[in-house]
């Protein structure tokens, strides 16, 4: 099985700690990750989001000191998708990197559309945190 990954990133002029604290909080997702969360609420210990993909569940990595914001998204179909994401210190600021992995059956156009949407979400995160 072959796979394809795009590494999408943005530099944010804020400390890695500040960016990690904001971006890793699922309650903030609707503010910057429109491709993932239109609205979100904690229900029975699970983060449930009304997203462009339908009603999904989001599970974030445990809080950590390494800037890891990996998250698992359970789609309405029941399929669970792993999304690696990191906040990496860089000078006075940090780089946020999202690793977009092509899922089986994803067309070239759909994969590119996902990349554009994630890049837009990262730009929103930058705008909010540098604002």
CATH of the domain at 117: 3.30.530.20
* Domain carrying residue 113: 5-130
Mean pLDDT along residues 66-73:
97
Average pLDDT estimate for 95-99: 98
How many domains is the chain partitioned into structurally?
1
Confidence band, pLDDT 50/70/90 cuts, at residue 36: confident
Q: What is the mean pLDDT of the chain?
A: 94
pLDDT band at 48 (very low <50, low <70, confident <90, very high): very high
Is the pLDDT reported for residue 98 higher than 60? yes
pLDDT score of 1: 41
Contact yes or no for 36/51 (Cβ under 8 A): yes
pLDDT exceeds 80 at position 130: yes
């Amino acid at each position: 099985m072959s796979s394809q990954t795009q590494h999408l990133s943005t530099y944010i002029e804020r400390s890695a700690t500040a960016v990690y604290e904001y971006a890793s909080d699922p309650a903030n997702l609707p503010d910057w990750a429109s491709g993932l969360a239109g609205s979100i609420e904690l229900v029975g210990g699970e983060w449930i989001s009304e997203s462009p993909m339908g009603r999904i569940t989001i599970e974030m990595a445990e809080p950590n000191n390494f800037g890891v914001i990996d998250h698992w998204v359970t789609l309405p179909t029941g399929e669970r998708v792993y999304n690696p994401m990191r906040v990496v210190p860089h000078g006075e600021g940090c780089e946020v990197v999202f690793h977009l992995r092509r899922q089986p059956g994803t067309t070239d156009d759909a994969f590119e559309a996902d990349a554009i949407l994630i890049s837009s979400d990262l730009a929103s995160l930058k705008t909010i945190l540098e604002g």
